[in-house]
Amino acid sequence: MRYDVVVIGSGFGGSVAALRLAEKGYSVGVLEAGRRFADDEFPQTSWRLRRFLWAPKLGCFGLQRITLLPAADRRSGGGVLVLSGA
């Protein structure tokens, strides 16, 4: 496929940039390193926190590593995932 613009990353900045460019009439492709998450993969409350927490020593194999919370940037899997509480 051919695009007028390719946006790298679908996080806070990338998603808005892609939207605004598309609104202006550009054909936009978005490249994302992370996988696609379904709505039900994100916690709605903290009651089932163990399902979403990544702490193998505690028997938790979810998607959020608590050791990465202080470093909320691309090196930790994407700021949106970290800052959204996922």
Per-residue pLDDT of 28-80, as tens digits, reads 999 988 777 787 777 676 666 666 677 788 787 776 666 655 544 454 455 66
- Domain residue ranges of the chain, discontinuous segments joined by +: 1-32, 37-86
Q: Residue 38 corresponds to which amino acid?
A: A
Q: How would you classify the pairing of strands 53-55 and 60-61?
A: antiparallel
Residue 72: the pLDDT is 47
Residue 24 predicted with pLDDT over 90: yes
Residue 30: the pLDDT is 94
34-48: pLDDT as tens digits = 777 787 777 676 666
Residues 6+ apart with CB under 8 A from 56: none
Q: pTM for the whole thing?
A: 0.51
Q: Which helix (H) or strand (E) holds 30?
A: strand 28-31
* Residues facing 53 on adjacent strands: 64
| Dihedral sign from CA coordinates of 72, 37, 53, 33 | negative
